Structure 1
Amino acid sequence: MVVVVGKDMATGRFTRTFAYINLDDINDASPNFEIEENEEVRTKVSSFARGSKHKRKNIQESVDDENIQLMTKQLGEIASAIKKINEDKIIPSHLFGEIMSIERFDEESLSNTFDYLMEHKQQAKAFLAKTKNLKKT
């Protein structure tokens, strides 16, 4: 209501009062319409409007369904990407624990092995996949 009246605080320089509006140009003559024609037009418009609203509703539902399907597909792709990242991720603490559990090697050699495997992710994955007996060799 404040914007309509002309007391717009945010954009005060763009406001207009009623003094700026030229009321003399307004035409007071109302158009002459026959009542029967208006009624016929109204019935035609109302029956047409119902049909078009129904069609618009069906089209809108179709568009909504397509959008939902697209969004579902994209969310599935995102979930797959996140799952792949987590599968490919090597947890350093887990790798370190596995390396340090190997017997017959000194701590410095095991530490160097850990550093090497952290730099070479594929070999680290292969190392983690091996059984304990294979890790010793």
Structure 2
Amino acid sequence: MARQQLTIGPAARAAGLTRKAMRVYEAKGLLPEAERTTAGYRLYSPDDVELLTFIRRARTLGLHLDDIREVLAIRSGGIPPCATVRDLLDARIAELDSAVAELLALRTTLAETRQRADDCTDEQPVTVCAIIEDS
């Protein structure tokens, strides 16, 4: 029995993606080139939809396309990619921790600057704004 093939719209809905995202993933080599009907419509198998769902989930976790490509290459070699995924997630967590630390430092600077702004009046002779000039 032949497995049901889906055109791009139904496949996109099933994977939770847009058609544009699917075409990008195909162009980037994450998704094999789709079969085509005689009219030129792309056809996707249930395996393709499963792969697209995996890619969407990985992107939701913040993995980059190169990271996903690496995981898929390991998987296609018949090796479970769990160790690689753990390493990639650890790296992503470290990136987020660094970004959070930078944002917290910026927030502290902004709050301190705002506190000093209470002493600033519009009557002071300045070229732009003493609040920012004194930061």
Under TM normalisation by the shorter chain, which class is it?
Answer: 0.3 to 0.5
TM-score (norm 1): 0.35
Which fold has the larger relative contact order, with Cα–Cα distance below 8 Å and residues 6 or more apart in sequence? 2
Q: Would you tell me which structure has more helix in proportion to its own residues? A: 1
TM-score (norm 2): 0.35
